[in-house]
């Protein structure tokens, strides 16, 4: 699997970048208050940045775990910040993007580990 060590090629990171961008832009079409908007924008941008880091440095395993942590935090955000009842579409966006981000991050860990080992052997 030669493409695993090449920058800008891992599909999981591209998908995470898309869901991060979706979260960051979702307040444009999703009803939300300032708290929900801020949460979606901040976490969306962080997910997008972590994805770009993973794409740039495919051997950086920690970035994939970073995706998972950000996804869990975004999933919990509607309860923590209290917008799950008032703005259900913003809450659903947080939950769906959070789950997808965790799944994509953990799915990329084995490939990132292989890329890391390959980088160490050179």
Whether 6 is covered by a domain: the verdict is no
Provide the residue-wise pLDDT of the chain in tens; the chain has 122 residues: 444 468 999 999 999 999 999 999 999 999 999 999 999 999 999 999 999 999 999 999 999 999 999 999 999 999 999 999 999 999 999 999 999 999 999 999 999 889 888 888 86
Whether 116 is covered by a domain: the verdict is yes
Domain extent for 28: 11-121
Which pLDDT score is estimated for 3? Answer: 46
Whether 5 is covered by a domain: the verdict is no
**33 Cβ contact list (under 8 Å, min separation 6):** 83, 86, 87
CA dist., res. 98 & res. 20, Å (int): 9
Q: Do residues 107 and 62 make contact, with C-beta atoms less than 8 angstroms apart?
A: no
Whether 46 is covered by a domain: the verdict is yes
Global pTM value: 0.92
The number of distinct structural domains making up the chain is: 1
Whether 81 is covered by a domain: the verdict is yes
Which pLDDT score is estimated for 2? Answer: 45
């Amino acid at each position: 699997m030669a493409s695993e060590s090449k920058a800008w090629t891992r599909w999981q990171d591209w998908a995470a970048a898309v869901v991060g961008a979706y979260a960051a832009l979702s307040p444009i079409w999703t009803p939300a208050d300032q708290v929900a908007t801020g949460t979606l924008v901040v976490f969306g941008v962080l997910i997008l940045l972590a994805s770009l880091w993973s794409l740039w440095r495919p051997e950086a395993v920690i970035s994939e775990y970073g995706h998972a942590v950000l996804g869990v935090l975004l999933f919990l955000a509607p309860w923590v910040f209290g917008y799950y009842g008032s703005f259900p579409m913003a809450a659903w966006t947080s939950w769906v993007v959070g789950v997808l981000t965790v799944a994509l991050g953990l799915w990329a860990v084995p490939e990132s580990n292989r890329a890391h080992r390959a980088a160490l052997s050179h």
